[in-house]
Amino acid sequence: MKKFCRVVFDRKKKCQKCGFGAVEIIVLVTHAKRKYINVKNKCTAAEWKVFAESKELSDLLDYYQGVVESMFRLKEPMTIENFEKFIGIEKPKQDENAKLQESFLDFMCAGIATDQIEPRTKDHRMVALRNLEQFGKIKTFADLTPNNISKYDEWLRSHPSQPKRSDTTIKDYHKTIHRYVMRAFERGIIERDPYRSVTIKHGKNKERTPLVEEELLVLRNLHLTGKLEKVRDLFIFAAYTGMAYVEVMNFDFFTMTEQKGDLFYIESKRAKTDSNFFTPILPPAMAILKKYKFRLPKISNQKVNDYLHLLEEKANIHKPMTFHVASHSKIYNPIKINLLGSLQLVTANG
């Protein structure tokens, strides 16, 4: 019999920020529908290591696994509601049609408000929500149809009230909305994902103009003071580590690095994708860390980009400089020179 249950710690990635996360059992009622059961709301990483091997947790997993196996053998409807009934959680019956008439806009708004995301990400999602509200034809869960999604896409691209947007921007709107549509589908509020029947034009990303190492050297050699100097140093650090603005602002040398041979390496997660990354701290980046006694300056993203425009002029660099450009700058990576025995042009991410 397949495993219907598994345990997960810190699913919402809170432990790194506040020192503890939740222990949950995930019950896979079907491949598309799952039930999250909170076992411990606040658990430190050290407590989790002990609890993970405990008989208490093992017994809970066995119990919920047995419930789902019984449902399967008895040919009971494999639904979350039925599972909850079997474990003793009774919910008042609700007319399915009444549920579909509830507000999807309110559902999405509540999701954005409670999701553990960066403030800037929250703002971007609220822009998509307000835009969907302005469209006016998708209000309830019942309105989430392929036809309405297609009409919304056409409205974004051609309605006189809408500014001209790139395909990429429109795709981002759909991506945000689809996130909460899928959440409604997983919770059984809607029967199918309407986006599966709609094709959204992808478009092309804007071509970035990264700096090359010669331009980075010009920046490094500039004599600067005050905020301008700090912004330049943050930019250089990002260029030689491949880190984004949020990652640089959250960087802590004392908890996020380890030494291997002569080099220190940063081990962390990408702010945008939550994927792991492991990157060396190259000499120019290490020089910045030593300069600030291993605690980088904190400056708002808006201020950073304002000062970077001033740096363009001072360094006579004829490329639009934003902090986003830093991690895409091309550098000659001495690590790869040593490994490959030849000079290779790579990006800081590479």
Domain assignment present for 205: no
CATH number reported for the structural domain that contains residue 280 in this entry: 1.10.443
- Cα–Cα distance, 4 to 188 (Å, whole number): 18
What local confidence, expressed as pLDDT, does residue 95 receive?
57
If asked whether residues 222 and 303 sit together in one domain, one would say yes
Please give the single-letter amino acid code of residue 200.
Answer: I
Q: Are 223 and 114 in contact (CB under 8 A)?
A: no
CB atoms within 10 A of CB 53: 8
Mean pLDDT of 304-311: 87
Least confident of 78-82, 251-255, 308-312: 78-82
Mean pLDDT of 180-189: 88
Residues 6+ apart with CB under 8 A from 29: 4, 35, 68, 78, 79, 80, 83
What local confidence, expressed as pLDDT, does residue 274 receive?
65
* Tokens read off for 186: 């997983």
* Tokens read off for 88: 């003793």
Mean pLDDT of 177-189: 89
What local confidence, expressed as pLDDT, does residue 342 receive?
32
Mean pLDDT of 46-52: 90
Look at residues 93, 111, 134 and tell me which one is the last residue of a structural domain.
93
- Is the pLDDT at 206 greater than 80? The verdict is no
Q: pTM of this prediction?
A: 0.44
If asked whether residues 103 and 16 sit together in one domain, one would say no
Q: Which of 118, 101, 114, 124 is nearest to 177 (CA)?
A: 124
- Cα–Cα distance, 91 to 187 (Å, whole number): 14
Q: Which range marks the domain in which residue 62 is found?
A: 5-93
- pLDDT band at residue 189, thresholds of 50, 70 and 90? confident
Secondary structure class of 42 (helix, strand, coil): strand
What local confidence, expressed as pLDDT, does residue 319 receive?
82
- Cα–Cα distance, 323 to 338 (Å, whole number): 29
Strand order in the sheet with 276-280: 257-260, 263-269, 276-280
Give one DSSP letter per residue of 169-201, joined into a string. Answer: HHHHHHHHHHHHHHHHHHTTSSSS-GGGG----
- Is the pLDDT at 129 greater than 50? The verdict is yes
Look at residues 50, 67, 93 and tell me which one is the last residue of a structural domain.
93
Phi, psi (degrees; rounded to nearest 5) at 132: -65, -40
Direct distance between the N- and C-terminal alpha carbons of the chain, in angstroms, rounded to an integer = 43
Mean pLDDT of 98-103: 83
- Is the pLDDT at 42 greater than 70? The verdict is yes
Phi, psi (degrees; rounded to nearest 5) at 85: -65, -40
Residues 6+ apart with CB under 8 A from 166: 203, 206
* Tokens read off for 184: 């409604």
Mean pLDDT of 114-134: 89
- pLDDT band at residue 272, thresholds of 50, 70 and 90? low
DSSP assignment letter at 140: B
Domain assignment present for 207: no
If asked whether residues 341 and 237 sit together in one domain, one would say yes
Secondary structure class of 148 (helix, strand, coil): helix
Mean pLDDT of 228-235: 93
Q: Is 261 exposed, middle or buried (0-12, 13-18, 19+ CB in 10 A)?
A: exposed
If asked whether residues 62 and 76 sit together in one domain, one would say yes
Look at residues 197, 230, 263 and tell me which one is the last residue of a structural domain.
197
Long-range contacts formed by 333-338: CB under 8 A, 24+ apart? 333/282, 334/282, 334/283, 335/263, 335/280, 335/282
If asked whether residues 278 and 224 sit together in one domain, one would say yes
If asked whether residues 221 and 167 sit together in one domain, one would say no
If asked whether residues 289 and 316 sit together in one domain, one would say yes
Domain assignment present for 202: no
- Is the pLDDT at 88 greater than 80? The verdict is no
If asked whether residues 125 and 168 sit together in one domain, one would say yes
Q: Are 107 and 141 in contact (CB under 8 A)?
A: yes
* Tokens read off for 66: 């047995």
DSSP assignment letter at 278: E
Mean pLDDT of 21-26: 89
CB atoms within 10 A of CB 215: 19
- Is the pLDDT at 121 greater than 50? The verdict is yes
Domain assignment present for 206: no
Q: Is 88 exposed, middle or buried (0-12, 13-18, 19+ CB in 10 A)?
A: exposed
If asked whether residues 222 and 342 sit together in one domain, one would say yes
Domains identified in the chain, total number: 3
If asked whether residues 79 and 36 sit together in one domain, one would say yes
What local confidence, expressed as pLDDT, does residue 244 receive?
87
If asked whether residues 242 and 284 sit together in one domain, one would say yes
Across all residues in the chain, what is the average pLDDT?
A: 83
Q: Are 178 and 195 in contact (CB under 8 A)?
A: yes
